[in-house]
């Protein structure tokens, strides 16, 4: 049985952001933008969506005189990411999941 | 690694897995420019202070020259505060572990040094103990970050520490102390910076 893929994570940019944040304690906006190669405007919109879903925490501080936005994955975000990986595996190895189920 | 602009578009299952793997790999293999700066700052401050204390004692035998050791925290702590005001772009769990290792070892070293200077633990071979504590830090950092040079340099520094303990000559004690910090901080610091510079200019 195929599991449903979380539509919020099943987008290239949002999945990219979550994949970065799952492997670090925190990352700032500039770093995420460099890694995803996207525009600041587009990234802001996607970060806001992840924040609204409770998947990430966003903290705004200052780095010297420059504003700095730091993102950190939440427990809810980690859980959603794990469920997404689990669902992906049900598509890639359907037989294995049938046996387990 | 080249970054293609990501869009708000759905992916197929293979693309999703490939993207996750790529993002995690990019972040884990990141090496920032000047990544060895902390080692260099603490290493050079300690070496310069040691030489200053040594020269001072050679000029006149006054116990109060030991207060010169406080030059290490006096010059090192402002560096830490400055660094805290400019946080890194990304902080990994490895960064967090390394930071905790150095907070614990640094505080222990500082406490023992203060006790030693104020004669509470006069009989303690403080220079040897500091080399051991900082050598442990270097080896642990090397193990956590898989940086062989730091492990080897930490071990060599501990051997220098043993010489420091076994000798009674003041000059050799001071010079081996400075040498240990060159080996476990200055050399690995320059190696890390060289590697980071090479990697950053490639990208």
Q: What is the C-alpha to C-alpha distance for residues A68 and B89, in angstroms, rounded to an integer? A: 9
Please give the mean pLDDT across all residues of chain B. 88
pLDDT at B5 (0 to 100): 78
Over 80: is that where the pLDDT of B86 sits? no
Look at B90 and A26 and tell me if their CB atoms are within 8 Å: yes
To the nearest 10 degrees (0 to 180), the angle between helices B13-28 and A29-36 is: 130
The answer to whether residue A100 sits within a structural domain is: no
As a three-state string, the secondary structure of B157-187 is HHHHHHHHHHCCCHHHHHHHHHHHHHHHHHH
Residues of B with CB below 8 A from A35's CB? 3, 23, 26-27
pLDDT at B120 (0 to 100): 61
pLDDT at B48 (0 to 100): 97
Between B145 and B199, where is the model more confident?
B145
* CA triple A35-A40-A45, angle to 5 deg: 105
Residues of A with CB below 8 A from B5's CB? 36-39
Q: Is B4 helix (H, G, I), strand (E, B) or coil?
A: coil
Digit-coded pLDDT (tens) for B139-161: 999 999 889 999 999 999 999 99
Closest CA to B10 of A54, A86, A88: A88
Q: Which of residues 76-135 of B touch A (CB under 8 A)?
A: 85-87, 89-93, 95-96
Distance in Å, alpha carbon of A29 to nearest chain B alpha carbon: 8
Residues of B with CB below 8 A from A80's CB? none
What ipTM goes with this model?
0.79
- CATH number at A81 reads 1.10.10.10
Smallest CA–CA distance from B15 into chain A, residue: A12
Domain span holding position A63? 12-92
A40 close contact with B: CB closer than 8 A: no
A4 φ/ψ angles, rounded to the nearest 5 degrees = -75, 135
Digit-coded pLDDT (tens) for A40-93: 999 999 999 999 999 999 998 877 777 889 999 999 999 999 999 988 888 777
The answer to whether residue A83 sits within a structural domain is: yes
Mean pLDDT to the nearest integer, B175-188: 96
Closest CA to A72 of B27, B5, B91: B91
The answer to whether residue A97 sits within a structural domain is: no
Going by pLDDT thresholds of 50, 70 and 90, the confidence category of residue A101 is very low
pLDDT at A93 (0 to 100): 73
The answer to whether residue A47 sits within a structural domain is: yes
Digit-coded pLDDT (tens) for B88-122: 788 888 888 999 999 999 999 999 998 888 876 56
pTM over 0.80, yes/no: no
How far apart, in Å, are the Cα atoms of B55 and each of A17, B12, B49?
55, 69, 10
Structural domains of chain A, count:
1
Please, which contacts does B189-195 make with residues 24 or more away whose CB atoms are closer than 8 Å? B189/B36, B189/B37, B189/B38, B189/B39, B189/B40, B189/B43, B190/B36, B190/B40, B191/B36, B191/B149, B192/B31, B192/B35, B192/B36, B192/B39, B192/B147, B193/B33, B193/B34, B193/B35, B193/B36, B193/B37, B193/B40, B195/B31
Task: State the DSSP H helix or E strand holding residue B60, giving kind and residue range, or none if neither.
Answer: none
Please report where in the chains the tokens 């950053």 appear, as a residue: B200
The answer to whether residue A87 sits within a structural domain is: yes
Residues of B with CB below 8 A from A45's CB? 8
Over 90: is that where the pLDDT of B53 sits? yes
Q: What is the C-alpha to C-alpha distance for residues A19 and B13, in angstroms, rounded to an integer? A: 15
Look at B87 and A28 and tell me if their CB atoms are within 8 Å: yes
Q: Is A1 helix (H, G, I), strand (E, B) or coil?
A: coil
Look at B10 and A37 and tell me if their CB atoms are within 8 Å: no
Look at B3 and A37 and tell me if their CB atoms are within 8 Å: yes
Domain boundaries, chain B: 35-202
Task: State the DSSP H helix or E strand holding residue B32, giving kind and residue range, or none if neither.
Answer: none
Going by pLDDT thresholds of 50, 70 and 90, the confidence category of residue B2 is very low
């Amino acid at each position: 049985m195929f599991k449903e893929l979380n539509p919020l994570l099943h987008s290239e940019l949002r999945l990219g952001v979550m994949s970065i944040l799952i492997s670090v304690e925190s990352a700032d906006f500039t770093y995420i933008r460099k890694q995803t190669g996207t525009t600041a405007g587009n990234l802001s919109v996607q970060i806001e969506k992840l924040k609204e879903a409770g998947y990430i925490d966003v903290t705004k501080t200052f780095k010297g005189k420059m504003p700095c936005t730091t993102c950190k994955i939440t427990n809810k975000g980690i859980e959603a990411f794990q469920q997404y990986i689990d669902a992906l595996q049900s598509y890639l190895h359907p037989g294995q999941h049938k046996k387990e189920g | 690694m080249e970054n293609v602009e990501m869009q708000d578009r759905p992916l197929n299952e293979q693309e999703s897995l490939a993207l996750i793997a790529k993002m995690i790999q990019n972040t884990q293999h990141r090496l920032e420019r000047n990544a060895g700066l902390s080692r260099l700052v603490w290493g050079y401050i300690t070496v310069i202070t040691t030489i200053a204390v040594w020269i001072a004692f050679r000029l006149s035998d006054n116990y109060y020259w030991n207060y010169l050791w406080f030059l290490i925290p006096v010059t090192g702590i402002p560096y830490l505060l400055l660094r805290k005001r400019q946080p890194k772009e990304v902080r990994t769990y490895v960064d967090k572990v390394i930071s905790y290792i150095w907070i614990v070892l640094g505080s222990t070293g500082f406490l023992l040094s203060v006790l030693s200077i104020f004669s509470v633990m006069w009989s303690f071979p403080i220079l040897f103990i500091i080399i051991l504590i900082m050598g442990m830090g270097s080896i642990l950092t090397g193990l956590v970050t898989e940086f062989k040079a730091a492990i080897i340099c930490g071990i060599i520094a501990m051997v220098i520490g043993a010489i420091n303990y076994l000798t009674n000559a003041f000059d050799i004690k001071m010079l081996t102390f400075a040498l240990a910090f060159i080996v476990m901080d200055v050399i690995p610091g320059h190696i890390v910076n060289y590697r980071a510079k090479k990697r950053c200019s490639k990208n």
